[in-house]
Amino acid sequence: MTYVVVRHANREHALRQIESSLRTGGQIFRKLIDQRNQQITTAASILSRDHAFLEAFAGTGEDRATTLSALESLRSRIEADRILISSLEKQILFDTGKPEAQSGEFPFPTLVDKAETDGAAYAFGILDSELYAMAVTPLLAPAPIAWLCPAFRIDDQFAREIKVYSNLEITFADMSAGEKLFGSTLAPGKQSSLQSILRSEPPRPKEIANLNIAGEHFISYALPLPKQNGTIIAVLQRSLDAELAPYLRVERTYLGLALLGLLLSIAIGVWIAGTVSRPILQLAEGTRKIAEGDYTSRLTVRSKDEIGVLAAAFNQMSGGLAERDQVRDLLGKVVSPAVATELLRGDVTLGGEEREVTVLFSDLRSFTSMCEGASPQEMLGILNHYFTRMGGIVEKHGGIVDKYVGDAMMALFGAPMAASDGADKAMQTALEMMEALDDLNQQWQSEGRRPIGMGIGINTDIVVAGNMGSQTRLNYTVIGDGVNLASRLETLTKTPEYGARIIISAATLMKAKGRYRTKSLGKVAVKGKQELTDIYALLGIETSAEKMAEARA
């Protein structure tokens, strides 16, 4: 945190220093430019009164070569890059940059207009795609006979000369000609980057801007210049990265010390972790694994202090949970998972309670014939495969398998957990069991075995559900007339006169909330009861099309 504060303070200080130096440098730059332009104007005035040149110009007007030679001598004397002479009508008479030119309009007529008023005038102007600083003054003999215009090219050398006095990076640019640069103290690569910035997001005149030029940050200040054409500006800059360099060295020293302190802290922390923290972290990790159901986690006890005692207690707890999990797993394979959970929830006691339960009995047909010639292991494998498939369907619909008796199966819906839709779940289970048997028969027939059949009986009634048996051996089941009726209905599926694979009682059909396709099979007498019971063949679930057809009828 301290490092961030110091770094921010250094940066803010550097920015203030650069902004102050830019504004001061801008003032120095303006004075230098004004001084330079004044020198140009003074030089132009001196030339305009040169007696020898005036005689050559006035006396040899028809001899261009002589005049151009005299004009070239004047240019060399004041170290100008170019000198132009315009007639009083603002037509070019001579141009040392284009000696062959003999006519044409003077490119800076407004500068001549200003010179007529003030006696002399100076400005920046673009001539033949180059930037010049120029002055205009009259040639006097003694009255004005022409206009003299010495011009000094603005290029990288000129910018470097100005930098010596201002201590700033300087770039001259024309913002009206594709942001063209004419002179700059920047390296060529940075000049291209600055040119791209000027095209896209030019800085506002006389406002401080932070520009990223070829990866280096520059604080910039744009100054408009007096011009004859174009939009000429001077971009004054100072590198923020260079200004921050001394601060960065201090920061690196500070950071090195901070890192050294951090390494010492880490070393001390590692030592503490080895003696105190690591066992606690291992204990927390072991606890997390136990919460996820992994009871194999054990801690290595290396000390006899409080942490060692806690680790030993954790290992005992983990072992106890592993044993309980193993018991639960084994119990879940002997009885249904729901029954196992109910038994493990509290003390196991004999007794039961009355509860509405839907009982499903299923029994195979022709299983012995199917397994004729098969070994006991093969017969048991077929039966286990069958029960795995059917038991999965029962559990999928929220039921539990109460017991297996030979190739018969008894399933409950509504015990030990109550279910208001037990009748629907039992009927849907029966239909899906029949579909699964058809699929199994196709597999067995492809193996060369005979197909088998299955009968299912379903009844819903109030029965007694609970743990039954002795104090040493218990069995969670249901008993009552309703159970006997479900078993009786399964037996009736063997009767040819009914021709039904699934038979349900009227009580089950009344409790169902869904709509099913059924067929009335009449009434049947149940052993132990005088009343006759209505029974139905369950054919399937009523589809939407069947409902619509029934509604139209």
Residue scoring higher pLDDT (492 or 263): 492
Domain assignment of residue 360, given as a range: 350-552
pLDDT over 80 (residue 548): no
- Tokens at residue 513, please? 């909330």
| 4-23 pLDDT per residue, tens | 666 666 677 767 777 777 77
- In a domain? residue 506: yes
Distance CA 500, CA 426 (A): 17
Between CA 396 and CA 427 the distance in angstroms is: 13
Q: Which pLDDT band, with edges at 50, 70 and 90, does 98 fall under?
A: confident
Distance, in Å, from the CA atom of 273 to the CA atom of 483, rounded to the nearest integer, reads 65
In-domain check, residue 237? no
CATH number of 456's domain = 3.30.70.1230
Q: Is the pLDDT of residue 419 over 90?
A: no
Q: Which of 106-110, 133-137, 419-423, 424-428 has the highest mean pLDDT?
A: 424-428
Counting the structural domains of the chain, the total is: 1
Contact 81, 152 (CB under 8 A): yes
**The predicted structure's pLDDT at residue 345:** 57
36-63 confidence digits (pLDDT tens):
777 777 777 777 777 767 776 765 455 7
Q: Whole-number mean pLDDT of the chain?
A: 80
Which pTM value belongs to this model?
Answer: 0.44
Q: Are strands 516-525 and 169-174 parallel, antiparallel or unpaired?
A: unpaired
**Which tokens in the block code for residue 316?**
């005992």
Euclidean distance between CA atoms 479 and 469, whole angstroms: 12
| Model pLDDT, residue 3 | 58
Q: How far apart are CA 136 and CA 46, in angstroms?
A: 12
Higher per-residue confidence, 334 vs 74: 74
Domain-located, residue 316:
no
Residue 18, in any domain of the structure? no
Token pair, residue 453, equals 């059949």
The continuous run of DSSP H or E covering 261 comes out as helix 240-272
Nearest to 83 by CA among 113, 117, 50: 50
Look at residue 58 in the predicted model and tell me its pLDDT. 67
Residue 208 lies in a domain: no
pLDDT range class, residue 413, cuts 50, 70, 90: very high
Task: Please compute the mean of the pLDDT values over residues 239-261 and round it to a whole number.
Answer: 75
**Pair of tokens at residue 178:** 């594709």
Give the pLDDT of residue 425. 95
Q: What is the distance between the alpha carbons of residues 37 and 426, in angstroms, rounded to a whole number? A: 107
Instruction: Confirm whether 408 is domain-assigned.
Output: yes
- Highest averaged pLDDT of the listed ranges 143-157, 315-329, 332-346, 364-378: 143-157
pLDDT-derived band at 1, boundaries 50, 70, 90: low
Q: How far apart, in whole angstroms, are the C-alpha atoms of residue 218 and residue 169?
A: 9
Report yes or no on 459 lying in a domain.
yes
236 with 221: CB under 8 angstroms? yes
pLDDT tens per residue across span 496-513 = 888 899 999 999 999 998
